[in-house]
Amino acid sequence: MRKLLQASLIAAAAIATAAPTTAQDYYVGKTVDLVVGNYPGGGFDIYARAVARHLGRHIPGNPNVVVKNMPGAGSAKAGVHISQVAPKDGLSIGAVTPGAVVGPLLDDKPQSMFDPTKVTYLGTANSGTRICVTYDKSKVKSFKQAMTDKIVLGGVAPGDAVHDFAYMVRATTGAPMSIVPGYKGTLDVTLAMERSEIDGACGWEWSSAKAQKPEWIRDGKLNFLLQISPQGHVNEELTKMGVPTLWQFVKDDESRRVVELIVSQQAFQRPYFIAMGTPDAYVTILRKAFDDTMQDAGFLADAQKLRIDVSPLPGATVQDLVQKFYATPKNIVEQGRRAIKP
């Protein structure tokens, strides 16, 4: 019995030692797909391609990381692919808009099959600020003016921030805004601004604006109406420019609670995740690789060149924030749903 016990202990120790080695060797010669739920050239695509260029160096075995665009259903199509279609083998990572994460809670009749609580988060690359702007051809130059003079804003589709935030601002401030949905993404919206089809956009991510249209900011082509971020948080860059916060214009306490709910999604602004059920060893490897990438000098230099902000949160933190978001009381959720309706 003593010999049998010794043999069992030796075997168990060998397995324990071999398991990490197997996991560490797993990615050698493999390719990791980074599936982006948005169109090429958009803010989420820019971030994902920057992450992809550096992530592989921090995964043992240095696999190739390849970006694949899968737009649709307000970015949720990519979420469904990762959570339900792709193998749970640690070789497929999803990158969706925060709207795809909050949509199943806030949409009146959610059509998405994507369940944001049923994936494993690796982290978020940014927990940033959104802006409301008009183009320089617009007669409306400030939000005080927008409170009385009607403006037309471009929207995308339910679940996209440039769509939902515009309706939220209108509902919680009383500003007479008109929203035109149906644009493919922020690049299409900016083109419509140039053509004077619309006045501007609301809910545009500040970092994306700097990456997509740096010349507009440099040349003063944009009128900054609002900055939108969780209460108590302001963007120093925008504040120095004199851009007011949304909170200054929210009309009552009920509207304030609605804004708190909807704006809380900015804590997971650029979420990256894998399928729930992926072996723990691969989860550990990918979460560490993501954290290391966020601190990587090459990635940060790349981000600075692209003019994208990096303010990451680790996977466990994002996982907890999403769970808490989905535990919001039903009456507040219902008010939030009404606020982002056309």
Domain positions in the chain are 2-127+269-339, 130-265
Say what the pLDDT of residue 111 is: 65
- Domain covering 130-265 assigned CATH 1.10.3720.10 in the classification: no
Return the closest-CA partner of residue 179 out of 295, 29, 2, 341.
341
Give the C-alpha separation, 147 to 222, whole Å. 18
Give the C-alpha separation, 20 to 37, whole Å. 32
- Residue 174 CA to chain centroid, in angstroms? 27
Beta bridge partners of 179: 153
Say what the pLDDT of residue 20 is: 42
First-to-last alpha carbon distance for the chain, in angstroms, is: 74
Return the closest-CA partner of residue 69 out of 78, 82, 60.
78
Query: Rounded to the nearest 10 degrees, how much is the dihedral formed by the CA atoms of 268, 60, 26, 125?
Result: 10
| Structure token digits, residue 193 | 């601004």
Give the C-alpha separation, 155 to 341, whole Å. 12
The DSSP symbol for 295 reads: T
Tell me whether residue 1 is exposed, middle or buried, using C-beta atoms within 10 angstroms of its C-beta: 0 to 12, 13 to 18, 19 or more. Answer: exposed
Give the C-alpha separation, 95 to 76, whole Å. 10
Q: How many residues does the chain have?
A: 342
Decide: pTM greater than 0.85.
Answer: no
Question: Is the four-CA dihedral 195, 205, 33, 277 of positive or negative sign?
Answer: negative
Q: What amino acid occupies position 63?
A: P
- Residue 135 CA to chain centroid, in angstroms? 24
Say what the pLDDT of residue 18 is: 38
Q: Please tell me if the domain spanning 2-127+269-339 has the same topology as the one spanning 130-265.
A: yes
Mean pLDDT, the chain cut into blocks of 10 residues (342 residues total): 45 40 86 96 92 98 98 92 97 94 80 89 90 97 97 90 94 96 92 97 92 94 95 87 96 92 86 97 98 98 92 92 90 90 82
E strand segments, the chain:
31-36, 64-69, 92-95, 119-124, 130-135, 151-154, 177-180, 200-205, 222-228, 271-275, 313-314
| Rg of the chain over all Cα atoms, to the nearest angstrom | 22
Q: Label the pairing between strands 119-124 and 313-314.
A: antiparallel
Classify domain 2-127+269-339 by CATH architecture: 3-Layer(aba) Sandwich (3.40)
Give the C-alpha separation, 268 to 198, whole Å. 29
Say what the pLDDT of residue 258 is: 92
